[in-house]
Every structure is written in structure tokens, then in C-alpha cells.
């Protein structure tokens, strides 16, 4: 099979305007993935499926990943004047990264027996509504799995035929697989307002801004 | 009729669907039936919301989640090894293959090597599990068709022989918790290989008996041939895997494609169906058992001495480097995959199970439309689902 860079180059040539980038994976298995923008995801996926050299006719796995807002620290070498002498000093540069949700597709080819090509879609943020393109019209196997991502992560799939909750019940409100989800405190006994219970209950209250 | 005509019909009424499925001109009331969640033929707590015209299925929506415990969330809050026993509960018929799939994914993530003897043990236990699962499925399928008791008890008698082997090896009949990252938990007990050889040698006799009784049986053929047909194109597009896919004639077996473990050392054939109906699915499983026995026989002779776990693999304080990995194996039900993302901490950042049972249910409606309720039950039985895995 072609390398991911080659696939990316050909996809960019076929789909004008698509923003593709390769996401590196540092683990020994080196399964790198292709990040595609939401607007062109459908067309790029269609190219991956129908291209005679790739023919990724089998979408094996669809899943969501939640990344919270994070502070990334990076070591940067900076030139500084220390005691009159210019020196190279290592400094920790901190950058804030806004959180996002990702939907990951593992694509294989049953006819040519190669793979995986990993496709990712990323939402701009974590606040509602988080929308990505549904690939169910291309691969039927994504139907239940995208429903599951919607159910557990709250990602909306544009173009999904039947986007309902699948594992949780219909009246359920939250998205349990999100990293900031707090499960309800279920008491089998009558909750009494002693300190411990009040302390736990505080976590569910909306955060109040401290007034100066 | 294609998927686009039927599944994208949120606005269509049941009567419009009926007109598409069985043609206009047949008048009558439509009946909505909730089959399950407590129904003996649904193999667990599973519901099919069916709309019927007389006995003909016009619409069928699978409903599940009754056993949902958010296995993935639990795994993300525990250590890597901590969710190994939990994988047993996914597909509780085949806990050893679940263990293997998970161990394989973590080994990919952390770059661990598996010693030779452990690879043999994994292959042997996985193939025993396949034989066990397919035997049971044949029994359940016949039970669904109304052959109450006898075939299932024949199957369970043989299953118990394999379960005895598994129990003496792992200490548990079904919840084995046997594989470890980079090997297996413990070595084979004394005399295990001889006992296994005996079971494997006697198995073809049971298969011959079972097949003489069933494979050519007129009632079985009448109930299964031409029922629940699935085309190869739809099967590929819908991500169907395992015996169901091969019954539709698609040559895709991960043991051949991915060559994981030591499968490349043993020649075996991949049986393929030509009709994609329930009978083919039954027959594929019968043939696969015979192929599994062909792998088991030499593997039990060839197994070398040596350690069963990679000495470099750490049991405590196991922290793979940041990265991600997707590992998959061919379990008796289909492709079981684990997708793991590590951020360098002792527990996985993302842990995802790709459950074959759930994805094989995607096309249940397509297979059942226009058929009778009785056939829908047989079709569901041939999919081979375990709700522990569907709901997770």
C-alpha cells in the first residue's frame, strides 16, 4: 500500500480545497492517521473508498475521543543576557490548547486486503453543537457506531439517517464518555444533608463566578 | 431494494414501507410487536421492534443497551491490566479470544514480544474456543427453529469437555482472565496436552454424528435455505465479519489476512458460502470447526518448552509510551478490535472495543424484511450475538 503521505497528496489533488494533515503516532506500531477537515470529510472518504488503488471498502471501527482544554508545556531554547553574557537558556513555554472532540475511522480494504488507513475528523470545540460529517452513506457499518459516538460523546453527525441514542435510554441527558462527565450520586437511602453529601453535591452545581 | 430506499425513510409511514416491502394491493392492519427484551429466542436481553402485516415483517428495529455498563469508561479509569478480567464479560462464550485481542492490542501499543510457547498456547486456546462457540451456536440455532433440547444438549455435552480443559488450565470455565501482556498467566498443568489431544481426536466423531443428524435434515433445510439472504456487497459495506461474511462468499479471514500469532505455520482452508443464507452460515461454522481441529492437532504436538511470558513485560507499574494502537483478531463471532490511546499514564486515555456482535446486527432489518416472524428469529439466531458484547 502507498504511504500516508502519498495518499494525502493524491487526495489533495483529487479534492480541491481539502485540508489534510498527517497525525503522527509515536507507538511502536506506527499507525499514523489522516486528519481531514469536516467540510471535505465526506468527499475525501468517498475518494478513499472508490479509488482503484486503495479501495477501502470496509470501515472497521468508528469511535470518538475527547480531548479536554489543556495546557501544553514545551521546552524552548531562548537566548538571554545573563550577568552581561549572552547565553542559551532552556525555558518552558506554555501554550493553551482548546479542547476538541475527534471521530476516528479505521478503514481497511477487503478486496485488496490492506489497511488500516485511519481517518480523523476534529470538531472546533467541545461546546454544543459539535458537528462532523456522517460517513454512514458511504459505509453502512458506521451506522450503529456513529450512533454510539453521538450517544456517548454528543457528536452530531451531519447526514446520518437515524441519529438516536443507542445504548443509553432516550430520556438520558448527558454524554457519559466525555472526560468531564460526572456520574450522579445515587443513594439507596434517603440523602441526609450532612457535610459529606453536601460536599459531593456541590460538584453538580453550576460553577459560580466569584465576584470581586 | 437498497439501504438508501429503506433506511433513509425517517419520514415514511409504516404503510408506505409496507407498500415497498411486500408490494401494494394487500390490504390489512399492521401490527406492532415488541419481541423481547425477555424472550427466549433473542439470546439475552435484546428487543426487536417489529411491524407485521399478518406474519410478514415490514419493519424491524433492533433495540439494545439493557446490559450497558459502559465498559469503556470503566477501563479508562483503571490500569491496563485491570480491565483484562473485564474483557471476559464481553463475549462470555469466548473469553479467551477476548483476552487475546486485548493483549495483542496492548502489545502493539507497548511493543512487547510474545515467547514461542505462549504463542502456541494462545493459538490452541483460541481454536478450542472457536470450536466451542460454533458447537454451541449450532445448538442454539436449532433450538430457535423448534428442535427443543436434544441438539442443544448434544452440543453442550461436547462444550463441557472443552470447558473442562479450559478450567484445568485457567481455573475458570468461562471467566478465564488468562492472557497477559507479553504472554499468558501460567503454564499448562501436567497432563493437559494429553487430555487436549484426546478431546481433539474424539471431536470429529461428534461432528460426524451431529452432521448426520442435522446437515441433511429436510426440516432444517426447509427452514434455513433461502432465508435471511445477505449479498456480498452489502456484507462488505456493512462491515460484517466472521462466519457471516464468509457465508456470503467473501474471502476475508483475519487469521490469513493479518497473520497474527503463528497462524501462518499451519495450513488451513477458509470455507466460503455461495448463497449467504442461514443454511450457509450454519454450514460454514460446521466446516470451520473441522479446519480448527486441523490446526489443533499438529499444534498440540509441536508446542515447545520455554517461558510463557516475556520477562521484560512489567506486571506492575505498566505505563506504555504515549501513542495509539488498533489491534484486531478473528474471534468466533468476527473481528474483535481494541483501539487504545495512551498518554503515558498507567491507565488508557481511550479504550474502545470494536464489538463484532453489534456491527453484525446492522443489517438485521435488511435480512428480515418481507419474511415471516419465524424466519426473523432463525435469522437472528444465525447472526450469533452475545449481548454482553453488544451492550458493553
Q: In this predicted complex, what is the ipTM?
A: 0.86
Contacts of B64 (CB under 8 A, 6+ apart): A166, A167, B45, B46, B47, B358, B361, B387, B390, B391
Residue ranges of chain B that CATH labels 1.10.645.10:
71-354
Does residue A105 surpass a pLDDT of 90? Answer: yes
Quote the distance between the C-alpha of residue B284 and its chain's center: 13
The confidence score (pLDDT) of residue B23 equals 62
pTM for the model: 0.87
The confidence score (pLDDT) of residue B8 equals 46
**Residue A33 burial class via C-beta count within 10 angstroms: exposed 0-12, middle 13-18, buried 19 and up:** buried
Q: Give yes or no for a contact between B89 and B123, defined as CB atoms under 8 angstroms apart.
A: no
User: CB contact, 8 Å: B18 with chain A?
Assistant: no
Q: Which of B109, B339, B359 sits opposite A144 (nearest CB)?
A: B359
A106 CB neighbours in chain B (<8 A) are 326, 337, 339, 354
| CA–CA dist B270, B267 (Å, integer) | 10
pLDDT in tens, A147-176: 999 999 989 998 888 888 889 888 888 889
Task: Count Cα atoms within 13 angstroms, Cβ side, for A165.
Answer: 14
Q: How many CB pairs (< 8 A) connect A and B?
A: 117
Query: Residues A23, A25, A30, A31: is their CA dihedral positive or negative?
Result: negative
The confidence score (pLDDT) of residue B17 equals 66
Q: Give the residues across from B83 on adjacent strands.
A: none
Q: Which of B7, B337, B392 sits opposite A60 (nearest CB)?
A: B337
Torsions phi, psi for A155 (to 5 deg): -85, 130
What spatial distance separates the first Cα and last Cα of chain A, rounded to whole Å? 61
Query: Residues B104, B106, B107, B109: is their CA dihedral positive or negative?
Result: positive
Regions of chain B where pLDDT drops below 50: 1-8
**Residue A206 burial class via C-beta count within 10 angstroms: exposed 0-12, middle 13-18, buried 19 and up:** exposed
User: CB contact, 8 Å: A9 with chain B?
Assistant: no
Alpha-helix runs per DSSP H in A29-173:
41-50, 142-153
The distance of A169 to chain B (nearest Cα, Å) reads 8
The confidence score (pLDDT) of residue B228 equals 87
What band does A187 get if pLDDT is binned at 50, 70 and 90?
low
| CA–CA dist A7, A48 (Å, integer) | 9
User: CB contact, 8 Å: A47 with chain B?
Assistant: no
The distance of B73 to chain A (nearest Cα, Å) reads 6
Beta-strand pair B38-39/B44-45: antiparallel
Mean pLDDT of the region A26-42: 88
B348 CB neighbours in chain A (<8 A) are none
B53-89 per-residue burial string, b: 16 or more CB within 10 A, e: under 16: beebbbbbebebbbbbebbbbebbeebbbebbebbbb
| CA–CA dist A203, B338 (Å, integer) | 33
Residue contact A140–B337, C-beta within 8 A: no
User: CB contact, 8 Å: B234 with chain A?
Assistant: yes
pLDDT in tens, B251-299: 999 998 988 889 999 999 999 999 889 999 999 999 999 999 999 999 9
Chain B residue with Cα closest to A68: B349
The confidence score (pLDDT) of residue B196 equals 93
Residue contact A57–B237, C-beta within 8 A: yes
Does residue A15 surpass a pLDDT of 90? Answer: no
| CA–CA dist B170, B326 (Å, integer) | 27
B235-264 residues touching A, CB cutoff 8 A? 236-240, 250, 252, 257
> E strands along A83-198, which residues?
85-97, 100-109, 114-122, 130-133, 155-158
Mean pLDDT of the region A121-133: 86
Residue contact B325–A143, C-beta within 8 A: no
User: CB contact, 8 Å: B359 with chain A?
Assistant: yes
Q: Give the residues across from B133 on adjacent strands.
A: none
CATH of B71-354, one of 1.10.645.10, 1.20.1250.20, 3.40.190.10, 3.40.50.1110: 1.10.645.10
Amino acid at each position: 500500500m502507498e504511504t500516508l503521505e502519498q495518499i494525502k497528496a493524491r487526495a489533495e489533488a483529487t479534492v480541491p480545497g481539502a485540508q489534510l494533515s498527517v497525525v503522527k503516532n509515536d507507538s511502536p506500531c506506527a499507525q499514523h492517521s489522516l486528519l481531514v477537515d469536516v467540510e471535505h470529510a465526506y468527499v475525501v472518504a468517498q475518494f478513499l473508498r472508490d479509488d482503484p488503488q486503495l479501495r477501502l471498502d470496509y470501515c472497521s471501527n468508528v469511535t470518538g475521543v475527547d480531548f479536554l482544554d489543556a495546557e501544553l508545556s514545551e521546552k524552548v531554547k531562548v537566548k538571554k543576557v545573563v550577568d552581561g553574557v549572552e547565553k542559551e537558556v532552556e525555558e518552558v513555554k506554555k501554550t493553551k490548547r482548546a479542547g476538541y472532540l475527534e471521530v476516528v475511522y479505521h478503514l481497511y480494504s477487503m478486496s485488496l486486503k490492506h489497511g488500516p488507513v485511519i481517518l480523523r475528523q476534529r470538531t472546533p470545540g467541545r461546546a454544543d453543537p459539535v458537528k462532523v460529517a456522517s460517513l454512514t452513506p458511504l459505509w453502512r457499518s458506521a451506522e450503529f457506531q456513529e450512533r454510539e459516538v453521538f450517544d456517548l460523546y454528543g457528536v452530531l453527525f451531519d447526514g446520518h439517517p437515524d441519529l438516536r441514542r443507542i445504548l443509553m435510554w432516550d430520556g438520558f441527558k448527558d454524554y457519559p464518555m466525555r472526560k468531564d462527565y460526572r456520574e450522579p450520586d445515587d443513594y439507596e437511602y434517603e440523602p441526609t444533608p450532612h457535610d459529606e453529601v453536601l460536599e459531593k453535591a456541590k460538584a453538580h452545581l453550576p460553577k459560580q463566578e466569584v465576584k470581586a | 431494494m437498497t439501504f438508501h430506499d429503506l433506511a433513509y425513510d425517517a419520514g415514511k409511514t409504516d404503510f408506505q414501507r409496507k407498500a415497498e416491502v411486500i408490494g401494494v394491493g394487500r390490504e390489512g392492519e399492521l401490527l406492532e410487536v415488541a419481541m423481547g427484551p425477555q424472550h427466549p429466542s433473542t439470546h439475552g436481553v435484546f428487543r426487536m421492534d417489529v411491524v407485521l402485516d399478518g406474519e410478514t415483517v415490514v419493519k424491524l428495529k433492533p433495540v439494545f443497551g439493557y446490559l450497558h455498563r459502559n465498559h469503556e469508561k470503566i477501563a479508562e479509569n483503571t490500569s491496563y491490566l485491570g480491565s483484562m478480567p473485564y474483557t471476559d464479560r464481553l463475549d462470555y462464550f469466548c473469553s479467551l479470544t477476548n483476552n487475546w485481542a486485548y493483549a495483542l492490542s496492548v502489545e502493539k501499543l507497548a511493543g512487547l514480544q510474545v515467547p514461542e510457547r505462549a504463542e502456541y498456547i494462545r493459538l490452541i486456546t483460541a481454536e478450542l474456543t472457536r470450536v466451542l462457540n460454533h458447537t454451541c451456536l449450532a445448538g442454539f440455532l436449532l433450538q430457535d427453529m423448534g428442535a427443543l433440547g436434544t441438539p442443544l444438549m448434544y452440543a453442550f455435552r461436547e462444550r463441557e469437555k472443552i470447558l473442562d480443559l479450559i478450567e484445568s488450565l485457567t481455573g475458570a470455565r468461562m471467566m478465564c482472565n488468562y492472557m497477559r501482556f507479553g504472554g499468558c498467566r501460567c503454564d499448562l498443568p501436567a497432563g493437559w496436552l494429553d487430555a487436549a489431544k484426546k478431546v481433539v481426536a474424539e471431536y470429529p466423531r461428534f461432528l460426524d454424528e451431529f452432521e448426520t443428524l442435522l446437515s441433511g435434515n429436510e426440516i432444517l433445510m426447509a427452514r434455513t435455505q433461502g432465508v435471511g439472504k445477505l449479498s456480498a456487497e452489502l456484507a462488505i459495506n456493512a462491515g460484517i465479519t466472521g462466519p457471516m461474511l464468509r457465508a456470503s462468499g467473501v474471502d476475508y479471514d483475519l487469521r490469513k489476512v493479518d497473520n497474527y500469532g503463528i497462524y501462518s505455520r499451519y495450513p488451513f482452508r477458509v470455507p466460503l458460502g455461495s448463497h449467504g443464507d442461514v443454511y450457509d452460515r450454519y454450514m460454514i461454522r460446521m466446516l470451520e470447526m473441522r479446519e480448527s481441529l486441523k490446526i489443533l492437532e499438529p499444534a498440540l504436538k509441536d508446542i515447545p518448552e520455554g517461558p510463557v511470558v516475556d520477562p521484560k513485560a512489567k506486571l506492575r507499574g505498566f505505563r506504555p509510551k504515549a501513542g495509539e494502537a488498533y489491534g484486531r483478531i478473528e474471534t468466533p463471532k468476527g473481528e474483535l478490535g481494541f483501539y487504545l490511546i495512551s498518554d503515558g499514564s498507567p491507565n488508557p486515555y481511550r479504550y474502545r472495543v470494536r464489538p463484532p456482535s453489534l456491527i453484525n446486527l446492522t443489517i438485521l432489518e435488511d435480512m428480515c424484511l418481507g419474511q415471516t416472524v419465524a424466519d426473523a428469529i432463525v435469522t437472528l439466531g444465525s447472526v450469533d450475538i452475545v449481548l454482553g458484547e453488544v451492550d458493553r
